[in-house]
Structure 1
């Protein structure tokens, strides 16, 4: 097991393990990946996130060698692997449907790639035993895939992918077939496994929560291009564009123009919320079209009439009056939809920190939705 912990180490201290340089892929007239560039570090858990058809699986298949780039280079440890055949690359891919051989046992499924590589029988036996222990399938070596649960089949596929000790493991929607509880526990197991091996994992998913839970960094793809690459917190709290703000999590957006900008305080004349004040260090010229993004959990509600304290009033520079149109109780939080007097709808998500509904609001109740300038993200349009 000590040997397993040294699977992936960078060739140089600051050099990326994997460099994707201007890669493009066309299918007829459709451009699936559009001159995309990305560096991935050794030992990183990286997620490619995006809607269906954005090109993330096509990119993964090019890394695995199942598709050939029409343009650009893919460098692994400085070597261009684009012309290298899939089975000759130090890269393995775990498929969404696991692709296990139904007639083979757990042991033989894990050993399949090792036999194809010409490893000696003794070495195969040792490696398979290591993999079985690693994914906690002891005692199940003789079972066939149809005798296993979905989670156990997923572990067999993972063990088979790891058996040849690749430098990079590619995972295509690896948890999509699992139920919610099993998916959450498997996420933790994958993270612990990746950390213990020190290997580079690249996962493709359309599940935002999954990506933000597991990955060190996330690349958000749209129409074959990377919209933003960032750590999960930065991606959520500081989206680079209106598209990213809308795609990642829930968000309230107010479109308008810059009215004034003084001392890092930007006033935006919005079309659906009146004047909104935001903290913004960039100097934006009056009249510039912008969108102000506010996450629902940053929006607070007051009963009509406002807070009793002066401190509460001083924080609430941005106040929007309206009526509660809908209430959704989600267990840990309650989501309120407030129809503003302007006609726009604002979502507020409030944590249920007490068992009794002391601070709840009901449909039809008049309220004030408020948020601070620091809660706002200003996005140029």
Structure 2
């Protein structure tokens, strides 16, 4: 890690006071971090466009979005490596937008870790502490604390090239935490790790964050990573926050078609409101949406009134059930029944993914859990099926 966010000696020595200020600020209902209409332009291009966001103390927050959406630029402004052209960045009520990186109680852990190759584990962790002017006894105690915290015992004398990728990541994390920052920024910190190590490290980071009670802001383009680790996720596109929500809310109640497509897999059916749902008890509080390639789809009435004629019905693949024959006619969960042919089957271990070409022309995807080791009832390409799903499992999105 580079020296992002290392504090001055005075700032480092007042870490205990900063903690009490953070608690007092939280008690007043104020967020630890408040971003107010921040703008950052490069050659006239708005990388971050009038973005506002509140993050309370102790939250694990994720910035998720495609490459070039502005999430790393925003993180660099929080660290002090970039200065906003407009707006404010308040940390504990103080505007730090133009405070130099080394004077902020903020640390940043980079994707490539940026460890010093000529220094061993102990000296890499100690580097920022020495620059802050801490006494030797305190430095030694802090190093021992960090080594134990990230489970590097016995590796203190090794240099980075003698460590595995996961161990280097732990050294970078220990160095970031050694200064006891109020805010820790993580820029794609697990990207260099293989899948299994990345998954185990995600859990370790979550446990570490809970134990320390620090505020973490992580930037990632990995949806599963963001949804696993973060309490809330902000999805960015073209420099703006499109939606800020918990992982469940983001997945189950996306605000737009773009969010629905970006977060996870989804079936989208274009349509328009057709008529009232009728008087049958199972049709109460339903809307009928006329689609060109799937016929009439019944959906639960949205909480917000619809203002546009052109609509999109979104259904997640795991909500689409398959049967060889139509479900019981009075089953309210199976109002939507669409017949078609299986065209593709992908076995993915825990689930099997199916593509179904409906008689009306639309293609639906269904994900079915593999609950038995040998599933003799699995569906095969060319087989006719009934795809069914509940109105409550549909989300109506305006185009």
If the length of structure 1 is used for normalisation, what is the TM-score? 0.95
Q: Which runs of 5+ in 1 are unaligned?
A: none
Matches within 5 A, 1:186-197: 186-197=201-212
The residue aligned with 1:202 is 217
Relative distance call for 1:10 and 1:194 in structure 2 (3 A) is: farther
Q: Contact 1:10 / 1:77 at 8 angstroms: preserved in 2?
A: no
Cα distance in 1 for partners of 2:239, 2:306 equals: 32
Question: What is residue 10 of structure 2 aligned with on the other side?
Answer: none
Correspondences of 1:1-381 after superposition (within 5 Å): 9=23, 11-13=25-27, 14-261=29-276, 263-282=284-303, 284=305, 288-303=309-324, 305-307=325-327, 309-310=328-329, 312=331, 314-381=332-399
Shift of residue 258 of structure 1? 1.1
Alpha-carbon shift at residue 368 of structure 1 (Å): 1.3
Q: Deviations 1:252-288 (Å, cap 9, x if unpaired)?
A: 0111111124542111111221110000144756972
Query: Matches of 2:139 and 2:114 in 1, distance apart?
Result: 20
- Name the stretch that deviates more: 268-277 or 244-253: 268-277
Moved over 6 A (4+): none
- Offset of residue 123 of structure 1: 1.1
* Count of residues paired in the alignment: 374
- Report if the CA contact (8 A) 1:54-1:223 is conserved: yes
2:306, 2:92 → 1: CA distance?
45
Task: In structure 2, list runs of 5 or more residues that go unmatched.
Answer: 1-15, 278-283
Residues 260 and 286 in structure 1, CA contact (< 8 A), matched pair in contact too: no
Q: Note closer, same or farther for the CA distance 1:283–1:175 as it changes in structure 2 (3 Å cut).
A: closer
Q: 1:171 to 1:334 in 2, by over 3 A?
A: same
SS at match of 2:124: helix
